[in-house]
Amino acid sequence: MERLDGVHLQEFLDGNPAQQERDEFARKIVRAWYRMQYAGRLLYADFHPGNFLFMDDGRLGLLDFGFVLPLDDELWPVMRDMDRAFTTGRREDRIAAVKEWSGGITDDPADADHLRLAEEFADWEMRARYCGGPFDFGDEADFRRGIDLFNECVRKRYSKSRPCTPVIVRQHMGWRSVLYRLKAKIDIRPIAEEEVKATGWDRSEYA
């Protein structure tokens, strides 16, 4: 156990930090997430604002590891396939990924609406990374679109797939909400690529 001195998100924002400072902390949050995912093969799912400490020396304090999802030998290969879609941005890769993740969506016309909605939500999740370049996470319309898409999935009962899906969605909506509150404008693609490279994972087959 180590005591960390810092402030939580709202107190940090109440200090009216400069855009550069908000962006730097956002990069640290994204890097921590990707390092746990790629090097540790686990997903940190509790992106509650109270679990982050913004420290005076510029460090980010991360608290409470009670809600993590280990990427075991069954789940890791699926996450690798999802990573292809996150990296390439190709629609065909995205469709293949959502089909694999759902375990039930087919090309049957009866599944057309389910596939459409799942692919649109996946594109919302993935675009900030596969496009590269500074992404405005403070864009309210874009953030609201993700919430609306997920709500539609739930309303149509399309959210049932793998048992861990609620954890995955919680994690993704969590980090997006924290970056939304920071009004971050950052490029997350190079952070992901650096963390992947550090593990020695060869993804040349994506080309």
Beta bridge partners of 7: 54
Q: State the pLDDT confidence band at 188, using cuts at 50, 70 and 90.
A: very high
Range(s) of the domain holding residue 47: 9-206
Instruction: Tell me the whole-structure pTM to 2 decimals.
Output: 0.92
Judge whether 183 lies within some domain.
yes
Closest CA to 8 of 65, 62, 44: 62
Query: 69 - beta bridge partners?
Result: 43
What's the pLDDT band for 20 if we cut at 50, 70, 90? very high
128 vs 131: CA distance, rounded Å? 6
Does 3 reside within a domain?
no
- Residue 123 to residue 113: CA distance in whole angstroms: 15
Is 1 inside any structural domain? no
| 135 DSSP assignment | E
What is the per-residue pLDDT for 205?
A: 81
Q: Could you report how far apart the first and last alpha carbons of the chain are, in Å? A: 44
Cα torsion through 165, 207, 105, 113, rounded to 10: 100
Number of domains in the chain: 1
The 10s digit of each residue's pLDDT in 44-98 is: 888 888 899 999 999 999 888 888 899 999 888 888 888 999 999 999 999 999 9
Is the pLDDT score of 207 beyond 70? Answer: no
Rounded alpha-carbon distances, angstroms, from residue 97 to 15, 37, 90, 133: 42, 18, 11, 23
What are the two backbone dihedrals, phi and then psi, of residue 201, each rounded to the nearest 5 degrees?
Answer: -75, 120
Strand partners, 62: 52
Enter the tokens of residue 46.
């509790």
Give the tens place of pLDDT for each residue, 104-155.
898 999 999 999 999 999 999 999 999 999 999 999 999 999 999 999 999 9
Angle value at C-alpha 28, between 192 and 4, nearest 5 degrees:
145
Q: Is 161 helix (H, G, I), strand (E, B) or coil?
A: coil
| Within-domain flag for 115 | yes
For the residues of 46-110, what is the DSSP string, one character each? ---GGGEEE-TTS-EEE---SSEEE--TTHHHHHHHHHHHHHH--HHHHHHHHHHHHS---SSGG
* Within-domain flag for 135: yes
Q: Contact, 61 vs 74, CB < 8 A?
A: no
**Res 88: pLDDT:** 94
The answer to whether residue 2 is domain-embedded is: no
